[in-house]
Chain A
Amino acid sequence: MSTPYYVSPEQIWEDKKDFVRRGIEQAKEVVALEYKDGLLMVAENPRRTTFKISEIYDKIALASTGRVAEYEALRVAGIRESEVKGFTYYREDVTGKWLTNLYSQHMGAIAQAWDAKPLEIELLVCEVDGNPAVGSQIYYVDFDGTYHEEEKFAVIGGRAETITDILKETYTEGLELSAALQLASRTLERVEAEESEPYQISPQTIEVACLDATAGRRKFRRFSIEDIAEIFNYAS
């Protein structure tokens, strides 16, 4: 009789982490950073209908990277659960913390299941408040459901660490929208240029959205190519 083969839990966990890391390494980055009136989210994404940044609820947006099909399902489920909660109780009761927990539980359960492939995604749950004193919140959610709050800015995707290091040097508080967009796109450009030819970001190659705390009930706004071009011109 042969011995049943044994793999230690540590080994299983390491394998899963390696597997996800290899997937995320290739994922394009999304940068979220606080500016004067809220949160700005920028991603390198030349596509116009498949997005990495999207509206979830009045004050909440989701930035995601990795496998599209996997985060798309979470995006839709997030909108649905938020709408149901807001309809049942009150719109203000839908919070970023609550949504982050929901995602965290789901992703954690899948990562720990013995017969499932962990989700190859990373998420940023972004939230602003109508009251400027409360400020904004960014929750980073890893593939295994672990999450933490980020201060002022956060990055997900393959070269997140490099970008975070650059932003630590260059980020300042109270940026105007145009300055924040410039900072994010210059940073992405710089990281891109380190690996290949000189690289230039244009309004056609990035996806930009913001949560504007000063806006009405729905704080999310997606910028069109024309909007982005206008901001670029204004800034330069």
Chain B
Amino acid sequence: MLKLHDYGTTDFLQILKNRYPDQVGNWNQPNGLQDVLPQNFLEGTTVLALVYDEGVIIAGDRQATEGYQVGERRIQKVYKIDRHSAIAVAGVAGPCIETAKLFQVQVEFYEKIEGAPLSLDGQANYLSSLVRANLSLAMQGLIVLPIFAGYDLKQGKGRIFKYDALGGRYEEDSYYAIGSGGKDARSTLKKLYQPNMSKESALNAVAEALWDAADEDIATGGPDLIRKIFPTLTLITEAGVSDVPDDTVAALYRELVARLEQP
């Protein structure tokens, strides 16, 4: 029998919590996890975003670590949310991927119920509550930190939002990077960023920032030329969200390596 009682709500997480509490794990209540904190969980490392003239690039490396070991070589950290937005997540892989999945479902759910897409600001605000819902895990070191980027159709430009563990939402107007190699990536982006960058120079800057993160931070994975695993570079423009093909990313890195190679 269909239940029609929560007709009015467009909040998918609330519906899950009310009716299917076992589907949302222990997102909200402290649960003594500290005592039995497992040692074998995966952690994702560096993700970043950069505004350029046509929109915004959002990117991440592909490696997840398990302690001092490589846990996963081709993990996905960038997720498309709707036609004009994407999220990149750094932190503990399990809750990170769950957050991205829940966020995507929520935005699409809203769009279908309302018959109109959720605004970029609306999406960014909703993500705050998902990050905050993870607070009790964050208190135990199991943190989920996303970067959210999108093309704002009303303002006609790419926008970047960063978050803190308490769900604080802050907008960046040029670039941002987080994760274990985030600081290194930010240093590179700081030197290479220019207002109204072309797509080519923006892609080069992002590739180099991820390279530097992998170079300085042991947890971040660089381009893997042997296994053909390359960082995810995703473009968000007025036309929509599109991944840069692996061949193009490989070419970017071959150029970069040639440039960096010492005689």
Nearest CB in chain A to that of B101: its residue: A87
The reply to whether B1 and A105 form a contact with Cβ atoms under 8 Å apart is: yes
- Judged by a CB distance under 8 angstroms, whether A79 is at the interface is yes
The reply to whether B2 and A106 form a contact with Cβ atoms under 8 Å apart is: yes
- Residues facing B in A207-233 (CB within 8 A) are 218
Q: Is the interface of A mostly helix, strand, loop or mixed?
A: helix
B238 to chain A, nearest CB (A): 17
- Residues facing B in A38-66 (CB within 8 A) are 49, 51, 54-56
B8 to chain A, nearest CB (A): 9
Bound Cα distance from A77 to B6, whole angstroms? 9
Q: Please pick, from B101, B108, B113, B115, the residue contacting A51 in the complex, using a CB distance under 8 A.
A: B115
The reply to whether A84 and B16 form a contact with Cβ atoms under 8 Å apart is: yes
Bound Cα distance from A53 to B66, whole angstroms? 48
Bound Cα distance from A86 to B101, whole angstroms? 11
Bound Cα distance from A80 to B7, whole angstroms? 9
Per-residue 0/1 for A67-93: is the Cβ within 8 Å of any B Cβ (1 yes, 0 no)?
Answer: 000000110111111011011100000
The reply to whether B2 and A74 form a contact with Cβ atoms under 8 Å apart is: yes
The reply to whether A88 and B7 form a contact with Cβ atoms under 8 Å apart is: no
A117 to chain B, nearest CB (A): 15
The reply to whether B115 and A83 form a contact with Cβ atoms under 8 Å apart is: no
A234 to chain B, nearest CB (A): 23
The reply to whether A73 and B113 form a contact with Cβ atoms under 8 Å apart is: no
The reply to whether A87 and B23 form a contact with Cβ atoms under 8 Å apart is: yes
- Residues facing A in B3-17 (CB within 8 A) are 3-4, 6-7, 12, 15-16
A96 to chain B, nearest CB (A): 16
Q: Please pick, from B2, B4, B7, B109, the residue contacting A83 in the complex, using a CB distance under 8 A.
A: B109
The reply to whether B113 and A79 form a contact with Cβ atoms under 8 Å apart is: yes
- Judged by a CB distance under 8 angstroms, whether A201 is at the interface is no
Q: Given A73-B7, A102-B2, is A56 in contact with B115 using a C-beta cutoff of 8 Å?
A: no
Nearest CB in chain B to that of A106: its residue: B2
Nearest CB in chain A to that of B6: its residue: A80
The reply to whether A87 and B1 form a contact with Cβ atoms under 8 Å apart is: no
Bound Cα distance from A106 to B20, whole angstroms? 20
Q: Given A51-B115, A54-B112, is A77 in contact with B2 using a C-beta cutoff of 8 Å?
A: yes
A14 to chain B, nearest CB (A): 26
Bound Cα distance from A43 to B109, whole angstroms? 24
- Judged by a CB distance under 8 angstroms, whether B105 is at the interface is yes
Per-residue 0/1 for A86-118: is the Cβ within 8 Å of any B Cβ (1 yes, 0 no)?
Answer: 111000000000000011011001000000000
User: Size class of A's contact patch?
Assistant: 20 to 34
The reply to whether B7 and A84 form a contact with Cβ atoms under 8 Å apart is: no
Per-residue 0/1 for B39-80: is the Cβ within 8 Å of any A Cβ (1 yes, 0 no)?
Answer: 000000000000000000000000000000000000000000
The reply to whether A73 and B105 form a contact with Cβ atoms under 8 Å apart is: no
Nearest CB in chain B to that of A49: its residue: B115
A183 to chain B, nearest CB (A): 27
Q: Which residues of B contact A77 (CB under 8 A)?
A: 2-4, 7
B2 to chain A, nearest CB (A): 4
The reply to whether A55 and B112 form a contact with Cβ atoms under 8 Å apart is: yes
Q: Which residues of B contact A84 (CB under 8 A)?
A: 15-16, 19-20, 23
Nearest CB in chain B to that of A103: its residue: B2
The reply to whether A88 and B112 form a contact with Cβ atoms under 8 Å apart is: no
Bound Cα distance from A84 to B108, whole angstroms? 12
The reply to whether B7 and A76 form a contact with Cβ atoms under 8 Å apart is: yes
Nearest CB in chain A to that of B5: its residue: A77
The reply to whether A87 and B16 form a contact with Cβ atoms under 8 Å apart is: yes
- Residues facing B in A173-208 (CB within 8 A) are none
B184 to chain A, nearest CB (A): 35
Bound Cα distance from A73 to B6, whole angstroms? 10
Bound Cα distance from A74 to B20, whole angstroms? 20
The 3 residue pairs across chains A and B that have the minimum distance between CB atoms: A106-B2, A77-B2, A79-B112
23 contacts between A and B (CB under 8 A): A54-B115, A74-B2, A76-B113, A77-B2, A78-B2, A79-B109, A79-B113, A80-B12, A80-B15, A81-B2, A83-B105, A83-B108, A83-B109, A84-B15, A84-B16, A84-B19, A84-B23, A86-B105, A87-B12, A87-B16, A87-B23, A87-B101, A88-B23
- 9 more contacts with CB within 8 A, not counting A49-B115, A84-B19, A87-B16, are A77-B2, A80-B15, A81-B2, A83-B108, A84-B16, A87-B23, A88-B23, A105-B2, A218-B108
